[in-house]
Protein backbone atom coordinates (compact mmCIF):
# COMPACT_ATOMS: atom_id res chain seq x y z
CA UNK A 1 0.00 0.00 0.00
CA UNK A 2 2.79 2.42 0.91
CA UNK A 3 4.65 1.62 -2.29
CA UNK A 4 1.51 2.26 -4.31
CA UNK A 5 0.90 5.58 -2.57
CA UNK A 6 4.50 6.66 -3.11
CA UNK A 7 4.30 5.65 -6.76
CA UNK A 8 1.05 7.54 -7.29
CA UNK A 9 2.48 10.70 -5.73
CA UNK A 10 5.64 10.43 -7.85
CA UNK A 11 3.56 9.89 -10.98
CA UNK A 12 1.44 12.94 -10.15
CA UNK A 13 4.55 15.08 -9.85
CA UNK A 14 5.93 13.68 -13.09
CA UNK A 15 2.72 14.36 -14.98
CA UNK A 16 2.29 17.92 -13.72
CA UNK A 17 2.33 20.41 -16.57
CA UNK A 18 2.71 23.95 -15.35
CA UNK A 19 1.02 26.70 -17.25
CA UNK A 20 2.54 30.05 -18.02
CA UNK A 21 0.04 31.73 -15.73
CA UNK A 22 1.76 30.49 -12.57
CA UNK A 23 -0.03 27.52 -11.08
CA UNK A 24 -3.42 27.57 -12.73
CA UNK A 25 -4.99 24.71 -14.61
CA UNK A 26 -3.36 23.96 -17.96
CA UNK A 27 -5.44 23.66 -21.10
CA UNK A 28 -7.12 20.27 -21.15
CA UNK A 29 -6.55 19.67 -17.43
CA UNK A 30 -9.11 19.94 -14.68
CA UNK A 31 -6.75 20.13 -11.68
CA UNK A 32 -4.13 22.84 -11.25
CA UNK A 33 -0.47 22.11 -10.63
CA UNK A 34 -0.73 23.64 -7.15
CA UNK A 35 -3.38 21.09 -6.26
CA UNK A 36 -1.25 18.26 -7.61
CA UNK A 37 1.67 19.52 -5.52
CA UNK A 38 -0.56 19.67 -2.44
CA UNK A 39 -1.87 16.14 -3.04
CA UNK A 40 1.68 14.88 -3.44
CA UNK A 41 2.74 16.68 -0.27
CA UNK A 42 -0.06 14.84 1.57
CA UNK A 43 0.57 11.44 -0.02
CA UNK A 44 4.32 11.09 0.48
CA UNK A 45 4.41 11.53 4.30
CA UNK A 46 1.60 8.99 4.72
CA UNK A 47 3.52 6.50 2.57
CA UNK A 48 6.70 7.11 4.58
CA UNK A 49 4.85 6.59 7.88
CA UNK A 50 3.44 3.31 6.59
CA UNK A 51 6.90 2.07 5.55
CA UNK A 52 8.42 3.07 8.90
CA UNK A 53 5.62 1.31 10.79
CA UNK A 54 6.15 -1.87 8.74
CA UNK A 55 9.90 -1.72 9.41
CA UNK A 56 9.28 -1.22 13.14
CA UNK A 57 6.93 -4.22 13.27
CA UNK A 58 9.36 -6.37 11.28
CA UNK A 59 12.24 -5.55 13.63
CA UNK A 60 10.18 -6.25 16.75
CA UNK A 61 8.86 -9.56 15.48
CA UNK A 62 12.23 -10.73 14.18
CA UNK A 63 13.86 -9.88 17.53
CA UNK A 64 11.26 -11.98 19.37
CA UNK A 65 11.74 -14.86 16.94
CA UNK A 66 15.56 -14.74 17.24
CA UNK A 67 15.32 -14.94 21.03
CA UNK A 68 12.65 -17.64 20.77
CA UNK A 69 10.41 -15.58 23.02
CA UNK A 70 6.69 -15.40 23.00
CA UNK A 71 6.15 -11.86 21.89
CA UNK A 72 3.48 -9.42 20.95
CA UNK A 73 2.61 -10.59 17.44
CA UNK A 74 -1.02 -9.48 17.37
CA UNK A 75 -1.19 -5.77 16.61
CA UNK A 76 -4.73 -4.44 16.82
CA UNK A 77 -4.07 -0.71 17.03
CA UNK A 78 -1.49 -0.12 14.28
CA UNK A 79 -3.42 -1.32 11.21
CA UNK A 80 -6.57 0.49 12.34
CA UNK A 81 -4.60 3.70 12.92
CA UNK A 82 -2.91 3.43 9.51
CA UNK A 83 -6.24 2.75 7.81
CA UNK A 84 -7.72 5.80 9.55
CA UNK A 85 -4.82 8.01 8.44
CA UNK A 86 -5.14 6.78 4.85
CA UNK A 87 -8.92 7.31 4.91
CA UNK A 88 -8.61 10.87 6.22
CA UNK A 89 -5.89 11.64 3.68
CA UNK A 90 -7.95 10.31 0.78
CA UNK A 91 -11.05 12.24 1.87
CA UNK A 92 -9.00 15.45 2.15
CA UNK A 93 -7.41 14.86 -1.26
CA UNK A 94 -10.83 14.28 -2.84
CA UNK A 95 -12.25 17.41 -1.21
CA UNK A 96 -9.29 19.54 -2.32
CA UNK A 97 -9.50 18.23 -5.87
CA UNK A 98 -13.26 18.84 -6.02
CA UNK A 99 -12.86 22.39 -4.76
CA UNK A 100 -10.18 22.99 -7.39
CA UNK A 101 -12.29 21.52 -10.18
CA UNK A 102 -15.36 23.55 -9.17
CA UNK A 103 -13.47 26.84 -9.07
Q: What is the pLDDT of residues 55-84, one digit of tens each?
A: 998 998 888 888 888 767 778 888 899 889
pLDDT, position 19? 47
Percentage of the chain exceeding pLDDT 70: 76
Cβ neighbours, 10 Å, residue 77: 7
Q: What is the pLDDT of residues 23-32, one digit of tens each?
A: 555 555 567 7
User: Can you tell me the distance from the alpha carbon of 31 to that of 13, in angstroms, rounded to the nearest whole number?
Assistant: 13
pLDDT, position 23? 52
Backbone angles phi, psi at 70, to 5 degrees: -80, 120
Distance, CA of 83 to chain centre: 11
Which residue did the predictor score with more confidence, 16 or 82?
Answer: 82
Amino acid sequence: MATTMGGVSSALVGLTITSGGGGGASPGRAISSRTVDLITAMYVPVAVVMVLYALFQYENRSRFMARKQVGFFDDRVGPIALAGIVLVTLVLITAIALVDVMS
